Amino acid sequence: MELNTLQQDALKELLNIGFGRAAASLSELTGHRVVLEVPEVSIHPITALRPALARLDQEDVASVHQIFSGPVAGDALLILNHSAAGMLKQLLTDEAPLPLDVDASAREVLTEVGNILLNACLGSFGNLLRVQVSFSVPQLNLDTLHGVIESLTVNREGMRYALIVHAGFRLRDAEVRGMLVIVLSVASLDKLIRAVEAWEQAEGGR
């Protein structure tokens, strides 16, 4: 399954609404102007995630993980490499950095940042599909990229796909890059793409 240009543009536009909402929340929380870059979207089979996440550069990553359920169900993650996680936390809170594994406060702040971004994006999907999506409380894990991918692939049945979104946070003259990974079943993804296409046509026709 691959996205055609029209579908890609439509998904980008939809995600952009979520990104805008998340950026506004983060700006309000931190008192700094936070801009989330226009997302870049691609679709990959879950078995081929590794090369798609190569841009994270480092093996040690912090990931904020939320499970969502309802008519559309799956896993949503924000993945940052350790340097990006540390930098983002410092930019947002002005506190001197500690190693993430001893800095529970930093992990909480990053959890909230991931939470805001994931809620905003998944919320946009829910609104579009006019369905009620429910979320689990977010969890932050410090793991290797390999471990994260493993946790998404083991003991899961059915062909699953990942929507990979490049997310760039810009604030205080600095930029931090991360990856949003939304894992869906074939059926959920199909439903989502069709709804997005319909929405784009309706929007375009207006």
* Sites of contact with another protein (CB under 8 A): 29-30, 66, 70, 92-93, 95-96, 98, 102-106, 108-109, 111-112, 115, 119, 123, 126, 132-138
CB of 102 to another protein, least distance (A): 7
119 or 188: whose CB is closer to another protein?
Answer: 119
User: Alpha-carbon distance 58 to 69, whole Å?
Assistant: 31
User: Alpha-carbon distance 109 to 112, whole Å?
Assistant: 5
CB of 103 to another protein, least distance (A): 6
79 or 133: whose CB is closer to another protein?
Answer: 133
Instruction: Using alpha carbons, select from 124, 136, 135 the residue that is nearest to residue 20.
Output: 124
CB of 64 to another protein, least distance (A): 9
47 or 83: whose CB is closer to another protein?
Answer: 83
CB of 85 to another protein, least distance (A): 13
Instruction: Using alpha carbons, select from 9, 27, 25, 4 the residue that is nearest to residue 170.
Output: 27
CB of 82 to another protein, least distance (A): 17
**DSSP annotation string for 17-86:** HHHHHHHHHHHHHHSS--EEPPPEEEEEEGGGHHHHTGGG--SEEEEEEEEEESSS-EEEEEEEEHHHHH
135 or 199: whose CB is closer to another protein?
Answer: 135
Q: What angle do CA 111, 150, 154 make, to 5 degrees?
A: 115
53 or 109: whose CB is closer to another protein?
Answer: 109
Instruction: Using alpha carbons, select from 164, 135, 149 the residue that is nearest to residue 52.
Output: 164
68 or 161: whose CB is closer to another protein?
Answer: 68
Assess contact for 76 and 157: CB atoms under 8 A: no
Q: What angle do CA 19, 112, 175 make, to 5 degrees?
A: 55
CB of 163 to another protein, least distance (A): 19
